[in-house]
Amino acid sequence: MTERQVARLLRDVRAGRVSVAEAVSRLRGMPFEDLGFAKVDTHRELRTGFPEVIYCEGKAVEHVIAIARRIRERHHVALATRCSRQIYEAAAAELAEVTWHETARIMVVGRPARPSGRARPVAVVSAGTADAPVAEEAAVTVETMGCRVERLYDVGVAGLHRLLVHRQKLERARAIVVVAGMEGALASVVGGLVSAPVIAVPTSVGYGASFRGLAALLTMLNSCAAGVAVVNIDNGFGAGYFAALVARGGRPG
């Protein structure tokens, strides 16, 4: 949709020829911006409540920067996952308000929306310190989407008392992301304690028979606790995004 078409649509709304609801429906279908090497979905936030997210691995540094610039020009924030220090440093030299979360490997361009102090948080629970990169990917994603986060780290089943002291925090959460490798049992344990939805994230942490996260994935998929959903191995971003949608009640940010 061109600027002329947008202007015509707005004039039609003002003249009463097109309803506001119909205009919003048409705007949802507006196209992408073709950069040649990428087609940036500049209107994703209008449809889904959050702008397009950049997955950095496999992309050229200059391409990531160009995409981030376009997204930031049209939205309050641009989020880039699996971001390296090299990409961050290059982006920080060209773009304003660039933040890199090293453990999460996430770059944020712009300022995320401030969460409501009264909103129930998303709890991000991790089994061990080796799971921290995936847990932080989930936590930073939730925060960038404008939701509060309660971090409960290193509370795996090998020392279950470490988790149980946080019962009140778990019960207060609107949604819970559980990150665990090895056998992945923590998600079932948490799922059996709370009424909030649990999003389980298997990680590739573990010895040979863990098959780089496959064992944890199968454990979580076979959980006997109701209310547990599972994302892909090491997909902290996907879990955080889903948890933020739950916390926001499915409403746009």
| Domains along the chain with CATH numbers | 31-110 (no CATH), 122-247 (3.40.50.1970)
pLDDT digits (tens, 9 = 90+) for 152-164: 999 999 999 999 9
> Among 177-186, 211-220, 241-250, which stretch is predicted with the lowest mean pLDDT?
241-250
Q: What is the pLDDT of residue 6?
A: 74
Q: Which helix (H) or strand (E) holds 122?
A: strand 122-126
**Confidence class for position 253, pLDDT limits 50, 70, 90:** low
Task: Note the pLDDT of residue 251.
Answer: 59
Q: Which of 51, 49, 108 is nearest to 81 (CA)?
A: 108
The whole-number average pLDDT for the span 206-225 is 95
pTM flag (> 0.85): yes
Query: In the predicted model, is pLDDT for residue 84 greater than 70?
Result: yes
Q: CB 20: neighbour CB atoms within 10 A?
A: 8
Residue the block writes with tokens 């709890």: 123
Q: What is the pLDDT of residue 168?
A: 94
pLDDT band at 250 (very low <50, low <70, confident <90, very high): low
